[in-house]
Amino acid sequence: MNCIKIFDTTLRDGEQSPGCSMNLKEKLEIAHVLEKMRVDIIEAGFPISSPGDFEAVEAVAGMIRDCTVASLARAREKDIDIAWQAVKNARDPRIHLFLATSPLHMQYKLRMTGDEVIACTDHMVRHARKYVDNVEFSCEDATRSDFDFLCRVVQTAVRAGARVINLPDTVGYATPDEMRSLLAEVIARTEGSHRIEFSVHCHNDLGMAVANSLAGVQGGARQIECTINGLGERAGNASLEEVVMAMHTRPDVYGGSITRLDTTQISRASKTVYSVIGQTAPLNKPIVGRNAFLHESGIHQHGILANKRTYEILTPEAVGIHQDTLVLGKHSGRHAFEKRLEELGYDLDPEELNRCFDAFKDLCDKKKTISDADIEALVTHSRVKDIDENDYQLEWYSVHTTNHTKATSTVCLKLGTEKFEAAGLGDGPIDAAFCAIDQIMKPAEHSFELYRINEISQGQDTLGEAHVKITCGNHSFSGRGLSTDIIEGSILAYISAVNHLKAYVRRQADQNH
Ligand code: KIV
Ligand code: ZN
């Protein structure tokens, strides 16, 4: 049996792709879900890239107990020092350093000769090893590198003390056959390879990231780097849920490879990540799309009724999708709510539980039945809710809208114990409400990057999740709002985004003093 480690890079490679930036609370929420799902390694960020990334790696390192936490660095002393500063308090910290090995990258990006790359590999791996044993070295653009040169770099990194060697398909160029033989041949060529874990990290430019990662496993890789929902640069990285479920479903092909992952957490992890970035899964997305387990045609339904295995190679339950039967409603008490949370695998602290129960009771007044999807959304929102003393909260709002005049809105917000009211005029009720909010909160000038509403469950009274992302300078700030009323959801999302923008401005001001 082969144990394959799952290295999740949603918070680093995933987060660095356009439209996927996350704030600290959101990163912590995702890290929490990843730990619960039992990934082996969480790559929490690239600390030298920004103070926000540093802070996130430090916070994830301080919170996570049951996974290795990796911190990314280029092969430069300063990067490595800062990566270590950020991750050093993790229970099991890893420094992950990378250096390009392909002729194109060496000549045009690094402007380094092959010998310089070898010397740098040796020096930087040794530098990282001064801090920690758990050092991973990645040969960026490995799949377009000269094979003999790649092997020299790998051997140098191994001799200098790297414990994990990663061979990334950085630009999604390789094919499965190539990936399998690359791994097998590099491993065969490396002295001391039995002491090293080889890893794959595949991008999806030609739609082969999952196939390539699995082929890497067949070639001898024992770690797969991947992201929830396949988020990542350009066309994304290999999707965690697909690589894991492929190995789970076809142990005959993947040499009985197993992971320690709790696959029943996959659906929740996917929803959490989509919710954070304000998207939903494409309907036909493998494993996590809404249609992934639906059987529409008569022939398929007939087969499924006779024996599920006719058209089902894995069960929805295996990835944590349960028949959305139930459920709870107005008459369900705290006990029933707590029991359902427990069945769904939540383990909330008393304060979180109180917040979620209050939100559940409010929702029962607006919606007849509360589904599992509603409960999951309530928990996710209560975890990322603004509860800082400097954050504005919605007290009440009203809107007046017609199809022949401008809309008007009055909004009342609370800051601590103080209340503020303002009125706004706009092209619709949401524009009018946002205008009123601006008058109260007076945010720095910004533009809208995203405004979207996603349905959580189905039916007329479904909960809607509004997502607002605003941009100020080079920074994006997002907010989410959950409500059965899309105007209220939008207002909550906008207030939250502006709270984040104001918190950032305050932090900047503090740093300048
Ligand atoms: O795609 C890539 O090569 C990377 C490295 C930093 C591992 O993301
Ligand atoms: Zn990458």
Instruction: Evaluate whether residue 81 is within a structural domain.
Output: yes
236 and 339, same domain (yes or no): no
Kindly state whether residues 232 and 102 are assigned to the same domain. yes
Phi, psi of 42 (to 5 degrees): -110, 115
The CA–CA distances, whole Å, from 346 to 48, 319, 379 equal 34, 15, 9
Ligand 1 centre distance from Cα of residue 141 (Å)? 8
Q: Is the CB of 199 under 6 A from ligand 1?
A: no
In order of 181, 227, 474, the CA distances from 13 in angstroms are 25, 8, 19
Calpha distance 110→340 (Å, rounded): 54
Atom 7 of ligand 1: nearest residue by CA position: 138
* 101-147 residue pLDDT tens: 999 999 999 999 999 999 999 999 999 999 999 999 999 999 999 99
CA of 170 to the centre of ligand 1 (A): 6
Please report the sign of the dihedral spanned by the C-alpha atoms of residue 376, residue 378, residue 381, residue 387.
negative
Report pLDDT digits (tens) over 472-502: 988 888 899 999 999 999 999 999 999 999 9
Protein residue whose Cα sits closest to atom 2 of ligand 1? 170
Global pTM? Answer: 0.87
144 C-beta closer than 6 A to ligand 1:
no
Nearest-angstrom CA–CA distance, 326 and 439? 43
For 231-278, the pLDDT digits (tens) are: 999 999 999 999 999 999 999 998 777 899 999 999 999 999 998 998
Q: What is the pLDDT of residue 327?
A: 63
Give CA–CA dist 180/157, Å, rounded: 21
Mean pLDDT of the chain: 92
How far apart CA 321 and CA 34 sit, in angstroms, is 17
Percent of the chain past pLDDT 70, that is, above it, reads: 96
377 pLDDT higher than 70:
yes
Ligand 1 and 140: CB distance under 6 A: yes
**Residue 210 pLDDT grade (very low, low, confident, very high; cuts 50, 70, 90):** very high
Q: How many CB atoms lie within 10 A of CB 151?
A: 17
Query: Who's near 273: CB < 8 A, 6+ residues apart?
Result: 10, 14, 30, 228, 229, 231
| 432-470 pLDDT, tens digit each | 999 999 999 999 999 999 999 998 877 777 889 999 999
Per-residue pLDDT at 325: 53
Sign of the Cα pseudo-torsion (11, 500, 276, 328, in order): positive
Q: Both 346 and 450 in a single domain? A: no
Q: In terms of residues, how long is the chain?
A: 513
What is the rounded distance in angstroms from the CA atom of residue 76 to the CA atom of residue 83?
Answer: 11
Asked if residue 13 has its Cβ within 6 Å of ligand 1, the reply is yes
Q: Whose CA is nearest to atom 5 of ligand 1?
A: 140
274: amino acid identity, one letter: Y
Q: Residue 218 burial (CB < 10 Å; 0-12/13-18/19+)?
A: middle
CATH assignment of the domain containing 452: 3.30.160.270
Distance CA 359, CA 337 (A): 11
> Ligand 1 center to residue 82 CA distance, Å?
18
- The alpha carbon dihedral of 123, 51, 382, 456 has a sign of negative
Dihedrals phi, psi of 323, to nearest 5 degrees: -55, 125
Q: Do 132 and 40 share a structural domain?
A: yes
Element of type H or E holding 469: strand 464-472
Residue type, 441: M
Contact 238, 196 (CB under 8 A): no
Pocket test for ligand 1, best of 53, 135, 138, 165 (most atoms within 8 A of CB): 138
Any ligand 1 atom below 6 A from CB of 176: no
Per-residue pLDDT at 322: 77
Regarding whether 175 and 299 lie in a shared domain, the answer is no
In a domain, 327, yes or no: no
Q: Is 72 among the domain residues? A: yes
The DSSP result for 140-153, as a single string, is ETGGGS-HHHHHHH
Q: Looking at the predicted structure, is the pLDDT value of residue 206 above 60?
A: yes
The Cα 308–Cα 282 span in angstroms is 24
By most ligand atoms within 8 Å of CB, the mutation choice from 10, 46, 79, 201 for ligand 1 is 201
Which protein residue's CA is at the shortest distance from atom 6 of ligand 1?
98
Judge if 430 and 343 occupy the same domain.
Answer: no
- Give the model's pLDDT for residue 386: 60
486: helix, coil or strand? helix
C-alpha distances (whole Å) from 196 to each of 42, 165, 240 are 19, 7, 23
Structure tokens at 137: 């070295």
pLDDT surpassing 80 at residue 9: yes
Q: Is residue 68 part of a domain?
A: yes
Q: Is the CB of 8 under 6 A from ligand 1?
A: no
CA 56 – CA 29 distance, rounded (Å): 11
- How does pLDDT run across 44-100, given as a tens digit for each residue? 999 999 998 999 999 999 999 999 999 999 999 999 999 999 999 999 999 999 999
Same domain, 364 and 247: no
- Two tokens, residue 114: 């092959």
474 and 419 fall within a common domain: yes
- Over range 321-350, report the average pLDDT: 80
pLDDT band at 368 (very low <50, low <70, confident <90, very high): confident
pLDDT computed for residue 392 by the predictor: 96
What does the alpha-carbon distance between residue 477 and residue 499 come to, in Å, rounded to a whole number?
9
Which comes out higher in pLDDT, residue 131 or 376? 131
Distance CA 79, CA 84 (A): 9
Same domain, 356 and 425: no
3-state percent helix, strand, coil for the chain, nearest multiple of 5: 45, 20, 30
Ligand 2 ion: Cβ-proximal residues, 5 Å cutoff: 13
Order of strands across the sheet that contains 393-400: 393-400, 407-415, 418-426
Could you report the per-residue pLDDT of 13-31, keeping only the tens digit for each?
999 887 788 889 899 999 9
* 354-391 exposure pattern, b = at least 16 Cβ within 10 A, e = fewer: ebbbebbeebbeebebbbbbbbbbbbbbbbbbbeeeeb
Residue 326 has pLDDT above 60, yes or no: no
138 close to ligand 1 (CB < 6 Angstrom):
yes
Longest CA–CA span in the chain (Å) reads 77
- Write the secondary structure of 367-388 as one string of H (helix), E (strand) and C (coil): CCEECHHHHHHHHHHHHHCCCC
CATH code for the domain in which residue 49 is found: 3.20.20.70
The residue written with tokens 């105007």 in the block is 487
Q: How many CB atoms lie within 10 A of CB 292?
A: 18
108 with 231, same domain: the answer is yes
For the cut 90, the answer to whether the pLDDT of residue 214 exceeds it is yes
Are the CB atoms for 258 and 247 separated by under 8 Å? Answer: yes
**Does ligand 1 have an atom closer than 6 angstroms to the CB of 168?**
yes
pLDDT of residue 226: 98
Q: Evaluate whether residue 387 is within a structural domain.
A: no
Residue 193 burial (CB count, 10 A): 17
**Residue 409, Cβ neighbours under 10 Å: how many?**
26
- Residue located via tokens 């028949």: 323
Answer yes or no: is 326 within a domain: no
**Cβ contact 78:127 at 8 Å:** no
- What's the token pair of residue 325? 């039967």
pLDDT at 17: 82
Same domain, 86 and 198: yes
Asked if 96 and 239 sit in the same domain, the reply is yes
Inside any domain, residue 160? yes
Buried-state track 464-475, b at ≥16 Cβ within 10 A, e below 16? bbbbbbbbbeeb
C-alpha pair distances (Å), 252 with each of 310, 313, 344: 19, 14, 31
Which residue range(s) make up the domain with 343? 334-382
- Say how many domains are in the chain: 4
pLDDT for 418 beyond 90: yes
Output the pLDDT for position 135. 98
Q: Is residue 48 part of a domain?
A: yes
Handedness of CA 347, 350, 355, 360 (dihedral sign): positive
